[in-house]
Structure 1
């Protein structure tokens, strides 16, 4: 009888101790991070879906810019073939390769958008202006999604490294830090120079 009463008293304390060690919080934070990564991928997919329309619009005007158009098409193909699953987020090399493919596409799009300067009638075309606006909005959404992902990564990585959650993270889940999204474009920390 004494054993049962001690067990009855110990059970709530054991449950409280487990709750304080991140048993539920760690997987919740990890799933939140994976969901934020899915948002990043969703925004990149949105951009990839817009590119064929942009290329088709410009192609009608800029037949002399074939190499630029080919470069955008090739960069888009490479960027859409490169994927990083939520399980790969702990591998910095895979995350960097994904970022490099996306940065290559961003560079090609920059060249494509500069084509409008050589074709004044393209600047006034409503289809081009609408697609350019959509692309700008998409780039902003990508930036927000990457920022949200990095915030979730920071929360998760902090949680698995701080006491007492770090004990549960290592023993129960074998948790590893997740790789944040970083700027990999050359001189990304410097603002671009605008010349008129």
Structure 2
């Protein structure tokens, strides 16, 4: 074998190894993107379940707190807007945060009505919404973990080269701000 044939053979082997390595990176990026989509789907399912409970909650509370019409209208409007923003994750998470805050206000209003607090349907809805909030939080954690993995792969060398060639992009985390989370608890000692 001549030295030219040896060099060409080495280059062919190097190209094949680089190609196989690139295919492996591409497949990992596809897996991470699909995991992120699956995570978003999990959040979406839980948010839809919560959205389906809202009309029952509003109707139950309406019977006791009829003068809170503005709050009920706001909750109903936000529920409709979240459904319309289904394809826009950034807008959806903003609206879901507003909806969560409105629901917290409904529960705060309900404290002024002992008869409502004693209502079996209201208590069941309150428990169901509490469980759904926990499931939403778990789905959000899973989604954000998959997005983190995807974003690291998209930004890391050498997978960033493959990601750029095939249009893989960073995704946004799903973060819902609750007004209650921003409140600082004040502790006073007498």
The TM-score with structure 1 as length reference comes to: 0.79
Residue of structure 1 aligned with 2:153, choices 159, 168, 173: 159
**Cα offset for 1:121?**
0.9
Residue of structure 2 aligned with 1:82, choices 76, 80, 85: 85
Q: Which has the larger radius of gyration?
A: 2
2:76 is equivalent to residue 73 of structure 1: yes
Residue 25 of structure 1 aligns with which residue? Answer: 28
User: What CA distance in whole angstroms lies between the structure 1 residues aligned with 2:124 and 2:178?
Assistant: 27
User: What CA distance in whole angstroms lies between the structure 1 residues aligned with 2:185 and 2:79?
Assistant: 23
Change in CA separation of 1:186 and 1:55 when aligned onto 2, cut-off 3 Å: closer
Residue 114 of structure 2 aligns with which residue? Answer: 120
2:70 is equivalent to residue 46 of structure 1: no
Gaps of 5+ in 2: none
Change in CA separation of 1:186 and 1:52 when aligned onto 2, cut-off 3 Å: closer
User: What CA distance in whole angstroms lies between the structure 1 residues aligned with 2:111 and 2:149?
Assistant: 44
1:1-196 correspondence to structure 2 within 5 Å: 10=13, 13=17, 16-20=20-24, 22-84=25-87, 94-171=88-165, 173-185=166-178, 188-190=181-183
User: What CA distance in whole angstroms lies between the structure 2 residues aligned with 1:14 and 1:170?
Assistant: 16
**Cα offset for 1:187?**
7.5
The TM-score with structure 2 as length reference comes to: 0.81
Q: Is the Cα–Cα contact under 8 Å of residues 101 and 178 in structure 2 kept in the other structure? A: no
Aligned length: 178
User: What CA distance in whole angstroms lies between the structure 2 residues aligned with 1:116 and 1:187?
Assistant: 17
* Alpha-carbon RMSD: 2.6
